[in-house]
Structures are given as structure tokens and as C-alpha cells.
């Protein structure tokens, strides 16, 4: 007979794990169900071609894990996860060999941007000074009073005039900033993309855009360790098809999209809520290429090789066009591409002259194209000869991403478009969007605020909602590494 538990969590992406950590730390008995054979969702790693060379399957770079309130308290470092700062946070090569470089230090960045350095400083410096307040405000899904009231005002002052790129004279700084805005994977320019540009852009000069030594899977591993240390159990190869399978749990937290909630609920959702979920929109897709290469990427501009992340899209205008086409569902052979050469920051990722290169393109939702040739040619444009270094390659189309992980509907790795409306009302307009109308059922995935990325906050906030509404626990448990179960809060 299945043992009763306090909470069942469906899915072990960073948000499912964060939800489980929070609930287990509150003294609840939790169990996790993961459809895949390994845990981690967007934090998984695989040795695709060589038993020594690890590839990050999804996320590779972690500005949010370095900054988010959940991970600040969970504290990865004493648990053995070393977040390595790249020598250059992100780089943006242009056709003529010039490149925009976001150094960790604001001074170095402004200096490298020449005449546009002053405008870059004007945009970023106040946000860097109020970084914790700004991150806390955005990461709460804008649902808690700001601890630093200046931070949201600074953000509003940058977004509301809708002139983020005005004031730049050259073409390097606008391209550099647009590359960051493109992380919103949607229409450019837009308010939501500008907000993403300000959040991620300033983080490069604050807590950084680090890579975990040894790959993203390390983060999932220590989260799972914490769950088990607090009595939780994790079941892999356990795909949940209906909420009826979880009748033994007082609360159920779904690290899934609204599309899956509709299926799992078997028609039990109130009609109005179900209608709202059906209206939830998914964004453009990602198509990823993994390469095993024999040497560092031969960038025309060698500075680019020192960066943790590289944006390949060219000028501001070119990127806006690429993103517009992806939103419209029109395929282009020149999409926006993000690239990471992890060994440039973490030399241990290279073995015997072989190293991984991670790259994905923004493409139309459901695009069936194998992206390997497409991505390779985008890289070749800024790094001629790259193709000669490739030992092996594999691609995952946007369409196939959904088979790999049902949360990536049509390849939408944000689990829902980050339009302005959906970044605030995610997945439906509610004060507590994590709570569903089904008693004890909560959504905890990136389809809820604050949205995509490895920050754990969707899971953490959903767990706090479950604690309040299902277990009558109002106090947030401590997540700090040294706290044991005895000291971690009352059992409901």
C-alpha cells in the first residue's frame, strides 16, 4: 500500500527541487516523482560522445542561482558547489571583428565601450548598487513589498520611457544590450525584454554570470541531498498521468506547465480556470546543438574566448529581426544563438584535448529542423575554422525538446511566453498564482512567477503558499546548510 505523505511533488527541475527543499525543511514528509531516469530537469548533464566530457543538457550559466533569494539562503558554496566567475561575463562579436564585452567590473566594461561607456554606467550602476533589492522585488513575482523601495523606482525609470537604447552613439553597446534582452525569447523591443535586459545586464556586474564547477547537475545533486537528509524520497522513472495517482498526499505541487495541469486534473478544474489555462501562450522554441571539439572556439576576436556566454546575432537591428521572425513562426537560417564553451571558465570540463560546446538557437515554436548545421554556420561566421575542430555533434529540434521534457511545449524553454502580461499574470491573473482551485494542488514550475531560469523561486513561493493554505504554517523554514531537521520548523 502507498504510504501517506504530506506533499507529493511532480517533477524534479530546479523548481520542483526547491519546492521539496522548502517543504522538507518545514518538517513535512515529501516524495518526488520524476518522469525521466535522472533528476534535475533543466539542470541535467549527459556524457553524449565521450565518457569523460560532460555536456549540460539545458542550463549552463547561472546568474539567477547566484542571486536569487532561495539560493542565497540555501547557499550552494558550503555544500560544495563552486560558482566560477568567467573572466568576461558575456561577449557579443560583430561581423567586422569588434566585440562588446561585459566584464565583471563596471569600470572595465565602460572603458571597453568607449564613448558609450558613460551611458552604460548610467543604466547599470544604480541597479548594481541596489542589486539585492531589485532581485528580491523581481523574484517575488512583484508580489511582496520591496525591501528596498528605491530598486523598483530605478527599474521603472529605465523601462517606462521606452528608450533603453537611446543615448548610445556607437553600435557595439546597443548590440551588447540587445543580446541580453533576447534572453526573454520574444518580440524586441518590448517592456518585458527590457526588464530582462536590466535584470540580467546589471547582474553581470553584481553577482555575475557564473558556471558551476563540474556542470549544472551539481546544483541538482546538492538539492536532492538536502531533501533526502530531511526525510524526503525521490522516485525517478515515475511519470504521473493523473492527480488520482497522488491521493495519498495532502498537497500536490506540479513542476509542470498549465497544459499538463489540464490533463492531470482529468476535467476536475472549474470551467473558468480551465479556460484561462487554455489561453496561456507558449513562446518561440529553442533548438540546441552540442559539439565535442578538439580546441577552444577559434574566435576572430580572441577576447570573446574569455567569456562565459557568447551571443551570436550581430547588430541590434539584426537581432530584433531574428526574434521577430521566431515569434511569427517564420524560420530563418540566421537565428539568434547563445553559446557557452564551459572549459573556458572551468578548465576541468576539458579532457585529453576534447571539450564540450553548448549552443542553442531561437526558432519558431515546434520547428522540426535539426539545428546542427544552422548553429555551426552561425558560429563559423564569428569563428572561421570552428567546423574543423568538431569531433562529434548532436542536435535537438524545438519540436523534439517537448518529447524530452513536456514542460518545453513546442521547444519553449521558458514554459510559457514572457510577454508583459504573462510575466505578471503567470499562468492566470491571481494574487496567489501558485494555488489552483483544486484543494491542495499547486503549480510550482517556471510557468508561474517569477518565470524561467534556475532560481528556484517558483518552487519556493509555491511551497510557501502550500505551507500557508494547506498546513497552516506561516513561518518560512530556514534553508541554510547547517540547519538539521530538528531545528527546521514545526511539523504540521
DSSP 336-364: -EEEE-GGGT-GGG-BTTBEEEEEEEEE-
Distance of alpha carbon 452 from alpha carbon 207, whole angstroms: 18
Measured from the CB atom, the residue of 59 and 423 that comes closer to ligand FAD is: 59
Q: Which CB atom, from 113 or from 327, has the smaller least distance to ligand FAD?
A: 327
- Per DSSP, the residues of 389-408 read HEEEEEEE-HHHHHHH-TTS
**Nearest distance, CB of residue 397 and ligand FAD, angstroms:** 12
b/e burial code for range 55-88 (CB count within 10 A of at least 16 → b): bbbbbbbbbbbbbbbbbbbbebeeeebebbebeb
Shortest distance, CB of residue 317 to ligand FAD, whole angstroms?
25
Point out which residues bind ligand FAD (CB under 6 A): 10-16, 33-36, 41-42, 58-62, 64, 239-240, 255-256, 260, 286, 288, 360, 405-408, 413, 415, 445-446, 452-454, 458
Quick check: helix, strand or coil at residue 288? Answer: strand
Dihedral of the alpha carbons of 71, 72, 74, 76, in degrees to the nearest 10: 80
Q: Which is nearer to ligand FAD, 155 or 339 (CB)?
A: 339
Sheet holding 285-293, edge to edge: 99-102, 88-93, 307-312, 337-340, 355-363, 285-293, 390-396
Q: Taking the complex as a whole, how short is the minimal distance between the CB of residue 428 and ligand FAD, in angstroms?
A: 17
The 3-state DSSP class for residue 127 equals helix
Tell me the C-alpha distance between 461 and 216, whole Å. 22
Sort strands 30-33 and 5-10 into parallel, antiparallel or unpaired: parallel
Contact between 56 and 45 (Cβ < 8 Å): yes
Tell me the closest approach of the beta carbon of residue 166 to ligand FAD, in angstroms: 29
| Contact assessment for residue 29 and residue 251, using Cβ atoms and an 8 Å cutoff | no
Q: How far is the CB of 114 from ligand FAD (least distance, A)?
A: 29
Pairing assessment for the beta strands 45-46 and 211-212 based on DSSP bridges: unpaired
User: What is the closest distance, in whole angstroms, from the C-beta atom of residue 366 to ligand FAD in the complex?
Assistant: 15
> In this structure, what C-alpha cell is assigned to residue 256?
509542470
In the complex, the smallest distance separating the C-beta of residue 54 from ligand FAD, rounded to whole angstroms, is 15
Smallest distance, Å, CB 340 to ligand FAD?
7
Looking at beta carbons only, is 12 or 365 nearer to ligand FAD? Answer: 12
SS3 249: strand
Cell numbers found for residue 324 = 521577430
If the CB atoms of residues 169 and 228 are measured against ligand FAD, the closer one turns out to be: 228
Which is nearer to ligand FAD, 101 or 398 (by Cβ)?
398
Give the nearer residue to ligand FAD in terms of CB position, either 406 or 437: 406
In the complex, least distance from residue 227 CB atom to ligand FAD, rounded to whole angstroms? 14
Query: Closer CB to ligand FAD, residue 172 or residue 200?
Result: 200
Least separation in angstroms between CB 413 and ligand FAD: 4
Q: Determine the 3-state secondary structure of 324 from DSSP.
A: helix
Cα-trace Rg, the chain:
22
Query: Looking at beta carbons only, is 256 or 436 nearer to ligand FAD?
Result: 256
Name which of 60 and 337 has its Cβ closer to ligand FAD.
60
Amino acid at each position: 500500500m502507498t504510504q501517506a505523505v504530506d506533499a507529493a511533488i511532480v517533477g524534479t527541475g530546479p523548481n520542483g527541487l526547491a519546492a521539496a527543499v522548502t517543504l522538507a525543511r518545514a518538517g513535512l514528509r515529501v516524495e518526488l516523482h520524476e518522469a525521466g531516469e535522472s533528476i534535475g530537469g533543466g539542470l541535467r548533464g549527459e556524457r553524449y560522445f565521450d565518457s569523460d566530457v560532460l555536456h549540460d543538457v539545458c542550463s549552463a550559466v547561472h546568474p539567477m542561482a547566484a542571486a536569487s533569494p532561495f539560493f542565497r539562503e540555501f547557499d550552494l558554496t558550503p555544500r560544495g558547489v563552486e560558482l566560477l566567475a568567467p573572466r568576461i561575463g558575456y561577449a557579443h562579436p560583430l561581423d567586422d571583428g569588434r566585440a562588446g564585452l561585459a566584464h565583471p567590473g563596471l569600470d572595465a566594461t565602460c572603458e571597453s565601450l568607449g564613448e558609450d561607456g558613460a551611458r552604460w554606467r548610467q543604466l547599470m550602476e544604480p541597479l548594481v548598487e541596489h542589486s539585492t533589492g531589485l532581485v528580491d522585488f523581481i523574484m517575488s513575482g512583484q508580489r511582496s513589498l520591496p525591501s528596498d523601495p528605491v530598486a523598483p523606482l530605478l527599474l521603472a525609470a529605465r523601462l517606462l520611457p521606452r528608450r533603453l537604447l537611446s543615448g548610445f552613439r556607437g553600435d557595439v553597446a546597443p548590440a551588447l544590450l540587445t543580446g541580453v534582452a533576447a534572453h526573454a525569447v520574444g518580440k524586441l523591443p518590448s517592456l518585458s525584454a527590457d526588464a530582462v535586459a536590466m535584470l540580467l545586464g546589471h547582474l553581470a556586474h553584481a553577482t555575475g554570470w557564473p558556471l558551476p564547477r563540474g556542470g549544472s547537475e551539481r546544483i541538482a545533486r546538492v538539492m536532492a541531498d538536502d531533501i533526502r537528509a530531511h526525510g524526503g524520497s525521490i522516485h525517478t522513472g515515475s511519470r504521473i498521468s493523473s492527480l488520482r495517482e497522488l491521493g495519498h498526499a495532502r498537497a500536490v505541487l506540479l513542476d509542470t506547465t498549465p497544459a499538463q495541469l489540464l490533463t492531470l486534473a482529468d476535467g476536475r478544474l472549474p470551467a473558468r480556470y480551465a479556460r484561462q489555462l487554455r489561453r496561456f501562450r507558449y513562446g518561440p522554441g529553442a533548438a540546441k546543438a552540442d559539439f565535442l571539439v578538439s580546441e577552444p572556439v577559434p574566435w576572430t576576436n580572441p577576447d570573446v574566448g574569455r567569456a562565459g556566454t557568447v551571443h551570436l546575432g550581430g547588430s541590434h537591428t539584426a537581432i530584433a529581426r531574428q526574434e521577430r521572425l521566431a515569434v511569427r513562426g517564420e524560420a530563418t537560417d540566421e537565428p539568434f544563438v547563445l553559446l557557452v564553451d564551459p572549459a573556458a571558465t572551468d578548465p576541468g570540463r576539458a579532457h585529453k584535448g576534447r571539450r564540450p560546446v553548448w549552443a542553442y538557437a531561437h526558432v519558431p515554436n515546434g520547428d522540426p529542423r535539426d539545428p546542427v548545421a544552422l548553429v555551426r554556420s552561425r558560429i563559423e561566421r564569428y569563428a572561421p575554422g570552428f567546423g574543423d575542430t568538431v569531433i562529434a555533434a548532436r542536435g535537438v529540434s524545438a519540436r523534439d525538446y517537448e518529447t524530452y521534457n513536456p514542460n518545453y511545449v513546442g521547444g519553449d524553454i521558458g514554459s510559457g511566453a514572457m510577454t508583459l502580461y504573462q510575466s505578471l499574470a503567470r499562468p492566470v491573473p491571481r494574487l496567489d498564482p501558485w494555488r489552483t482551485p483544486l484543494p491542495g494542488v499547486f503549480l510550482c514550475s517556471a510557468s508561474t512567477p517569477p518565470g524561467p531560469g534556475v532560481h528556484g523561486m517558483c518552487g519556493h513561493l509555491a511551497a510557501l503558499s502550500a505551507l500557508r493554505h494547506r498546513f497552516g504554517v506561516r513561518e518560512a523554514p530556514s534553508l541554510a546548510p547547517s540547519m538539521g531537521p530538528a531545528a527546521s520548523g514545526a511539523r504540521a
